Amino acid sequence: MITIDRLCYNSKLRFVNAGEKFAFAVLTLCACVISRSFLISGFVLLTAGILTVWKGGIPASAYLKFLRIPLAFLLLSSLAIFLNVKERPMDLFALPLGSYYLTGSRASLFYALQLILTALASVSCLYFLSLNTPMPDLLAVLRRLHCPKLILELMLLIYRFIFVLFEISYAIRTAQNARLGNRDYRTSLKSFGALASALLIRAMKKSGALYDAMESRCYDGDIQVLDETYPPKRKEILGILVFEVFLYALVVAKKVLS
């Protein structure tokens, strides 16, 4: 079981109604993207983190580890916004490169930091949803929202095959390590190529076996999954409404004042 899935099934918020968590995550994410404000993004990032770690019981070390992945990507991608090569220096700094300057401005630095914080806050909303809501519950919410059946079935099959591929690749990698298949760089490349080819072949065989199993169980183009439904609670709905009204009031106030 992959780490996110294991944490999700051990979350204290797992048995909260999935529709409530979905509505909270989506509405909060939309407010964060619309505002693009340091204040609102920081508030959303802090709130989502507190709910995930404190209410959900997700270890803070694991949560911060997950946040480091998008943060590293954002820091690298924002360099393209912050750094410029121009003939004239800008107001923040300038390093001469022949007749040009590697330079940056205060406005570009502000925009890059704003983009990083907004994106990180948006990711924290998705982490709140994914770390506290099992995949079958999430699919049930999308089904009630009349998401196309084909997309839901593809999501379910892809979710299933993630574990299948992890299991196969782990077994192959263990066998390669036992035979010193990764003792140096050259053998590691050769072993990786063998692993990729074997993984492709076994995945095709597994998909064929899965389809045969579905056909033997009268598959008619619709995958039926038993859902664990947890009734919504009035207290939780009221809390979400109060939070979202307050958050969107901040968004409107920020737009008006700016």
- For 228, phi then psi, to 5°, come to -90, 110
The whole-number pLDDT of residue 99 equals: 78
Q: Is residue 94 part of a domain?
A: no
Query: Token pair 């892809």 is at which residue?
Result: 158
Q: Which residues contact 174 (CB under 8 A, 6 or more apart)?
A: none
Per-residue pLDDT at 160: 79
* 189 occurs within a structural domain: yes
Domain annotation covers residue 138: no
Residue 104 covered by a domain? no
Question: What is the span of the domain harbouring residue 217?
Answer: 147-227
Residue 63 shares a structural domain with residue 37: yes
Cβ-based neighbours of 89, under 8 Å, separated by 6 or more: 101, 103
Give pLDDT, residue 207: 81
The number of angstroms, rounded, from the C-alpha of 43 to the middle of its chain's C-alpha atoms is 19
Contact 28, 244 (CB under 8 A): yes
What pLDDT shows up at residue 52? 93
Answer yes or no: do 159 and 51 share one domain. Answer: no
Tokens 């204040």 correspond to what residue? 39
The Cα–Cα gap between 124 and 121 comes to 5
What is the structure's pLDDT at 182?
78
Is 129 exposed, middle or buried (CB count within 10 Å of its CB: 0-12, 13-18, 19+)? buried
Q: Supply the pLDDT for residue 196.
A: 85
CA distance 146 to 93: 52
Q: How far apart are the C-alpha atoms of 200 and 164, rounded to whole Å?
A: 12
Torsion angle (degrees, nearest 10) of CA 45, 46, 48, 50:
160
Task: Examine the domain organization and report whether 121 and 38 are in the same domain.
Answer: yes
Quote the number of domains for the chain.
2
74 three-state secondary structure: helix
pLDDT value, residue 1: 54
| Domain-embedded: residue 100 | no
Predicted confidence at residue 53, as pLDDT, reads 93
The tens-digit pLDDT sequence of the chain (258 residues) is 577 778 888 889 988 898 999 999 999 999 988 988 888 999 999 999 999 999 999 999 999 999 998 888 888 888 878 777 777 777 777 788 777 877 878 888 888 888 899 999 999 999 999 899 888 888 888 888 888 888 888 888 888 788 888 888 888 888 888 887 778 888 888 888 888 888 888 888 888 887 788 778 777 767 776 667 778 889 999 999 999 999 999 999 888 877
